[in-house]
A and B are shown apart, each in its own frame.
Chain A
Amino acid sequence: MSLTRTARTRRLTAALAVTAALALGATACGGTTKDDAAKEGGTAAAGKADPNAETKKDLTVAFLPKQVNNPYFTTADNGGKKAVESLGSTYKEVGTSSGTDTAGQVSYVNTLTQQQADAIAVSAQDPGALCTALKQAMKNGVSVVTYDSDTKADCRQVFVSQASAEDLGRTQVQEMAKQIGGKGEIAILSAAQTATNQNTWIDFMKDELKKPEYKDIKLVKTAYGDDDAQKSFQQTQGLLQEHPKLAGIISPTTVGIKAAAQYLAGSKYKGKVKLTGLGTPNDMRAYVKNGTVEAFELWDPAKLGALAAHTAVALESGQITGQEGEKFKAGDLGEFTVGKDGVVSLGKPTVFSKSNIDDFDF
């Protein structure tokens, strides 16, 4: 799933991917150099940003999600599609059917470069493995935006972040504190022990818990369900057995939270042990309605996709180059500013509860 990354597989595939990147990258280069002149458009390589530059039309914007057929990315990419088409450009989506096929992602980047796509919005399976291919793409005049999962900062122009890690971490603790009345034992159910984004959020959660208003809340354990339904089930069981006084569980992963919710719903802990975290409304609807879960949060992936699309077009039009402080308009979403390291942040997450969950469908 989008929220995590299995590092075990990553390390293995990374080695393969780098080799593939080198091999394929070389071929891609040979195939496209002669067309470079034709594609001198406004890209990062072109120099200074002109915020008033006209928005270009008839561009081809390709979305390369971490995994196709993943409901989360389908929603995000459909948001991107709508935005691309509203700007008068052409949208396309390509990608691997496995979320850990880094070599596959590399070859898609190379293919897109060869096909002379104008901009690529990619959700990277690995922060390093795509670098060679993406740099090659940028050199050939393709604008590169990452969304949901970033690469290293020098391998893309802008990263469209779903919400800042800090906001996500802190708001989940705030939500949990509200639900358990500010005191009691809590635990975290994460994905893989090595998932970078999970760990960043958890660090912010721990930091938030240091504040004096949470002095009665004690984080007793962080468990790892590896984003596997059965494992997350058993980890939830283990948490409740090991800590019978547990008041609440925070699960910052969509797979973890729905597994935990399904377990709680069918156990004696239903309604007694609170559960919050990051989940999608469709996954969680049944549990919110039957009283297992009060409220949880997530960003709106459709908006994330739309913002990635607007960012890609803004880059290709030369309105921004990815430098800190540049501003651009993203249609209905409003105005955004490029932050440090070329990061554009979507904003605070949305909280879903009984009152608003039916307004969302993803």
Chain B
Amino acid sequence: MTVTATPVREEAVPEPAAGRRLIDKVFKARELAVAAVLLVMLGATQLSNTEFLSEQGIKDLLLNATILVLVATGQAVVVITRNVDLSVGSVLGISAFAAGTYLQDGGSSLIAILLAVALGALFGALNGALVSLGKVPALVVTLGTLYIVRGIDSIWVGSQQITADDLPNGFVDFGHDGIWVVPYLALLALAVLAAVGYYLRSYRSGREMYALGSSPEAATLAGVPVRKRIMTAYVLCGALAGLAGALYLARFGNVDSATGSGYELTVVSAVVVGGVAFTGGSGSVYGAALGALLLTSINSVLPAIGVSSVWVTAINGILLLLAIAVDRILALRVAAVLRKQAAQLRSARHA
């Protein structure tokens, strides 16, 4: 989807402001649709089971979503630049173990979290360097780093594991405590989400990421520092996967060499369901976060109404296809509108 950059004209008379509003609405609508589905689903579940949205219930929903929201935020930024990072699951796993090992040896919780973030950023930088300097397709590069990082993880971790017993009480409590129904983890994720969202929307370099994703060639010609932006996106994505690793440790209190394997697919699903187009240049981190919340909530809704969890994967798949279908239909619609207006313009000139 490359429509963001194209001004739409309602009439032969140029009216860029109104046009942008229309496009804005179309994009907002997609995030609104995800939000609406989410609300309807939660509401219906609450009707059939009044325990669902109890204090504990809301807290659980938010906690369940936190880790996925963080990783999806990072992934969304990468996808917006028309790349992808498949190594997030492995990076999450290795960062979680690094933080766990540090805590096991009596380290402080804050430094453990920073350590995980730094390790994640390091792997992000590696991905970024390979993708931007090597000019190799991101899918292949990050598939490679997925296996490499998992391999390092397996050699390093071996059969060891970090259990709740190895962690300081304060750190484990941080994983489930909070202010009333809002857990600390969710607040942290929200802060990160808002910061990244603001950066993408209001900073020049943030906008350049969209430009880059819409059309890499045009962005290069327009003087966007392509390598630097791709690097930023990957480092951010890696750092957030690292942070998510530390939070995973706090939440689940258990890490072994298989932690996070297969997670990349869930993350990519969340991003796509949230309306971030895989072709780059469109969507927002808020959408990705909503997508993450939707996917994790389905996993909570089904058990709460007593439906077998076997259905979860099928439902996720359907949502994914729906999201892509909506995306395609919107793209075709917008393209048709643009064509019509271009034709009107031409005929107006010839007249």
A residues neighboring B (CB under 8 Å): 68-71, 73-74, 97, 193, 221, 223-226, 229-231, 233-235, 237-242, 244, 258-259, 262, 265-269, 282-283, 285-287, 289
Contacts and interface: CB of A to CB of B under 8 A. Distances in A.
Contacts of B4: none
B252 A235 contact: no
Interface in B160-203: 160-161, 163-165, 167, 172-173, 175-177
Contacts of A287: 164
B137 interface: no
Given A97-B154, A266-B176, A286-B253, A238 B302 contact: yes
8 contacts: A69-B154, A226-B309, A230-B252, A235-B309, A238-B300, A283-B161, A286-B172, A289-B165
A241 B57 contact: yes
A223 B173 CA distance: 27
B159 A69 contact: yes
A242 B164 contact: no
A94 to B, nearest CB: 15
A97 B309 CA distance: 27
B52 interface: yes
A68 B154 CA distance: 10
Contact of B49 (A68, A241, A282): A241
Contact of B165 (A68, A69, A73, A285): A285
Given A283-B163, A286-B165, A241 B252 contact: no
A234 B303 contact: yes
B64 to A, nearest CB: 6
B114 interface: no
A283 B304 contact: no
Task: State the 6 A-B residue pairs at the shortest beta-carbon distance, nearest first.
Answer: A238-B303, A266-B176, A286-B164, A74-B159, A286-B165, A241-B51
A240 B306 CA distance: 11
Interface string B50-93: 01101011001000100000000000000000000000000000
Q: Which has the most chain B C-beta neighbours within 10 Å: A229, A265, A269? A: A229
A26 to B, nearest CB: 31
Contacts of A242: 49, 51, 303-306
A285 B161 CA distance: 13
B309 A229 contact: no
B320 to A, nearest CB: 18
Q: Which has the most chain B C-beta neighbours within 10 Å: A237, A244, A267? A: A237
B46 to A, nearest CB: 10
Given A237-B60, A266-B175, A229 B252 contact: yes
B304 A268 contact: no
Contacts of A268: 56
Interface string B241-260: 00000000001111011000
B60 A71 contact: no
B257 A69 contact: yes
